[in-house]
Amino acid sequence: TILVLDHGSQYSHLILRRLRDMGIYCELLGCDVPFADIPFRPKGIILSGGPASVYDAEAPHADPAYFEQTEIPLLGICYGNQSIAWRLDPMNVIRSDHREYGSAEVKIHRVSSHVDRLLEGVGESMEVWMSHSDKLGSLPENFEIICETPSSPFAGIAHKDSHVFGLQFHPEVTNTPCGGQILKNFAVNICGCSPNWTMSNFVDQEIARVRKLVGEKSQVIGAVSGGVDSTVAAQLLKTAIGDRFHAVLIDTGLLRLEESQQVKETLQEHLGINLTVIDASKAFLDALAGITEPEQKRKVIGNLFIDFFEKEALRIEKDAENTPNAGPVRYFLQGTLYPDVIESISWKGPSATIKTHHNVGGLPARMLNGEAKLQLIEPLRELFKDEVRALGRALSIHVDDLVMRHPFPGPGIAIRIIGEVTPERVAIARKADHIFITEIKKAGIYNEMAQAYAGLDSNKAVGVMGDNRSYGYIIILRAIVTTDFMTGEPYEFDFKLLKKISTRICNEVHGVSRVTYDCTSKPPGTIELE
């Protein structure tokens, strides 16, 4: 394993990505983790970049023991490189307010055989990506220059006798074409790692880790939604501890049409996960009566969700008292992914702040501190979205059906119904949504959009049905093309298809008089209606 010590760079995760893509397992720890507390024995350590200057009062300085030890090779990148040089003599680093940002051509000096091994296959010069303010102003004692550019004479350094290297540029970004090769050379040639890590190693490793953490008796509870992340996380837990993992699907009545049944089929019948479906739709719809304000809806749904979840945790706990091999419910499974983790990383490293937006109403905080007092288990915390898919496949889940499923917000259809959420309006929106999605799938264009749904306007409009005047609901169709969900464009439908969908909805969903297509981009619109 290679340890990547994070100083808060926006590129830290790319170091992991690059190495893992080449079959080298690596883990990220915050730079505030003392050397003695590393939970595994790394074969090499990469010190990431970071936004701070070594001179800042609050600059993150890793435990000196990382630098004092001589057994494990070190590679400093950008800020990591500066911190190696600064430790030896603060005068080695020049403070600068000017940022060097962009491509540069570095000249390589092959001064020794271990530098040759680090830069194997790279040539005599290479294009690299620079993004830094401070830089080295002099060569640390006992180091040699291995790369230079006209503006950075110490763009790469290596210790004369030990395996300590520093690079001013970023080998982890694609704008440094040879960067992956350098990282691999460091891991394989210098640290002696074997590039044979695969997702099935990860499965074995995580299963062992979960078993050790949870112990022989404790139980784990986790909310599932039918989405890829929660399904893969649940399957991993089931594989590790069997029925001591309890998956809970709270049917808020605000899920897509027939969705709770489908989730049950996939998780319980196909995957054999110990699942409880709680039909809480009446409670949710009762609690939403009379509420029209979007944030208020979110709050009501979020709070009620936790109430139900907490009750279920306590119920399982009670049951356990009468079951010989089951202990207390101690852990709460969450399908947090690495991108969620990095969004909340400050330069202090990946401290445990958790983004709450995608967890209904801030579920973790209350679960952790409330009556149930659960601890988090986040087995996907180190993974990227596509790695979760690979993990799903390694766990024999037919992820392909799940993978491309459009995301669905925690508050469900409630934020797609403008105004009051009543049972009648939910039923109408769900039926229209079902027709819309069915037609999209039939046309083979489901994967061309990131999210699509049918929502409901708060007003009614006049129409004519047969010979009679009707006064019915207005359906709003929305389909968005996006990769990051931060910005998006409306999907450009074939108009004939839209007309067909409109006709089907008006004919088949009683009470609808009109169908509109929302062609607002994001921004200024949002993806959801509320």
Residues recognised as catalytic = 78, 170, 172
Taking alpha carbons only, the member of 256, 261, 194, 269 closest to residue 409 is 256
Task: Give the Cα separation of 172 and 169 in Å (integer).
Answer: 9
Q: List, in sequence order, every residue forming a beta bridge with 472; answer none if it has no partner.
A: 461
Among 119, 191, 224, 527, binds ligand XMP (CB under 6 A): 527
CB of 211 to ligand XMP, least distance (A): 30
Strand, helix or coil for residue 435:
helix
Nearer to ligand XMP, 3 or 223 (CB): 223
Q: Which amino acid, one-letter code, is at 154?
A: F
CB of 518 to ligand XMP, least distance (A): 12
Site for ligand XMP in 347-406 (CB under 6 A): 358
Task: Give the Cα separation of 504 and 440 in Å (integer).
Answer: 13
Among 114, 264, 298, 366, binds ligand XMP (CB under 6 A): 298
Task: Give the Cα separation of 237 and 351 in Å (integer).
Answer: 24
Site membership for ligand XMP, residue 528 (CB under 6 A): yes
Count the site residues for ligand XMP by CB under 6 A.
Answer: 12
Site membership for ligand XMP, residue 411 (CB under 6 A): yes
- Residue 419 DSSP symbol: S
Measured on CA atoms in the order 25, 27, 31, 34, is the torsion positive or negative? Answer: negative
Among 160, 161, 485, 510, binds ligand XMP (CB under 6 A): 485
Site for ligand XMP in 412-471 (CB under 6 A): 451
CB of 370 to ligand XMP, least distance (A): 20
Residues 6 or more apart whose Cβ sits within 8 Å of residue 484: none
CB of 357 to ligand XMP, least distance (A): 6
Give the number of C-alpha atoms closer than 13 A to the C-alpha of residue 494, restricted to the C-beta side. 9
Six-digit token string for 164? 């300590």
Q: List, in sequence order, every residue forming a beta bridge with 475; answer none if it has no partner.
A: 456, 515
CB of 465 to ligand XMP, least distance (A): 33
Which range in 111-119, 197-205, 394-402, 409-417 contacts ligand XMP by CB under 6 A?
A: 409-417
CB of 524 to ligand XMP, least distance (A): 11
Strand, helix or coil for residue 132:
strand
Task: Give the Cα separation of 362 and 358 in Å (integer).
Answer: 8
Nearer to ligand XMP, 159 or 298 (CB): 298
Which range in 44-52, 98-106, 200-208, 520-528 contacts ligand XMP by CB under 6 A?
A: 520-528
Site membership for ligand XMP, residue 526 (CB under 6 A): yes
Site membership for ligand XMP, residue 410 (CB under 6 A): yes
Crossing angle of helices 294-320 and 281-288, rounded to 10° = 150
Binding site for ligand XMP (CB under 6 A): 298, 358, 407, 409-411, 451, 485, 522, 526-528
